[in-house]
Amino acid sequence: MAALESFSATYHRDPRPGDLIEIFRPAYQHWALYLGDGYIINVTPVDEGSPASSSAKSVLSRKARVRMQLLKDAVGNDTYCINNKYDNTYNPLPVKEIIRRARHLIDQEVPYDLLGNNCEHFVTWLRYGEAVSGQSKTAICAIGLVTLAAGAFSLLGLLHSRSRKREY
C-alpha cells in the first residue's frame, strides 16, 4: 500500500481489493473498483484527459477505455469514499474473480451510455456480476418528473387557452 501512504482522502478504512470507490466530482460521482496496492480500475474517455473529466467526455463519445490507474491520480483534488452500497442487495463475487474479470478488461474500449452503461454500471458488474447504477435511476426519475411536469403545464396551458376562447 505504499502508493496510498502520502495520499489523504475521506475514507474510514483502507480500501481492500474488490471495493467500490465513489469519487466525488464537482457535478457528479465517478466510480472505480479498487484492485490493490494503490491501484483502481475505471472507465475513462477514449482520448483520456484530466481525471476530473472522466465520465463527462465519455458521455459525448459513447465510448470509454478501461484503465488501471493509481487511486490518487484518479481522485486528483477531489475526495472519495469506499462505497459497497449494494452489498445488502447483491452478493459480491469472490475477490479473486472480481480482480480476474477486471484485469482481463484493462485497456479495452467499451461502450458508454450515461443512463444504461456508465462507470457505476461497470464497477458493479465487476463486483456483483450485475450492472446497476443508482445515479442512472435517479437521472431517469428526474427526466421522467421533468417530462411529466412539462406535459402537465402544457395541458393546463391548452385548457386555459380554450376556456379563454369560449368567453369571446
Q: Are 30 and 54 in contact (CB under 8 A)?
A: yes
The verdict on whether 119 is a catalytic residue reads yes
CA distance 60 to 94: 34
- Determine how many CB atoms are found less than 10 A away from the CB of residue 97: 14
Which of 12, 104, 119, 160 is an active site residue?
119
Active site residue: 30, 104, 121, 160, which one? 30
Q: C-alpha angle 78/81/87, rounded to 5°?
A: 145
CATH value of 2-132 in 1.10.3720.10, 3.90.1720.10, 2.40.128.20, 3.40.50.150: 3.90.1720.10
**Is 160 known to be catalytic?**
no
The answer to which of 63-67, 136-140, 164-168 has the lowest mean pLDDT is 136-140
For 144, other C-beta atoms within 10 Å of its C-beta total 10
Name the region of 46 (left: φ>0; alpha: ψ -120 to 50; beta: rest). alpha
Q: Would you kindly state where each structural domain of the chain is located, as residue ranges? A: 2-132, 133-168
What is the pLDDT at residue 117? 85
pLDDT-derived band at 147 (thresholds 50, 70, 90) equals low
Check if the beta carbon of residue 132 is closer than 8 Å to that of residue 120. yes
The Cα 75–Cα 73 span in angstroms is: 5
The predicted structure's pLDDT at residue 50: 46
pLDDT digits (tens, 9 = 90+) for 64-82: 999 999 999 999 999 999 9
Say if residue 87's pLDDT is above 60.
Answer: yes
Mean pLDDT of the chain: 79
Interhelix angle for 119-128 vs 54-61, to 10°?
A: 100
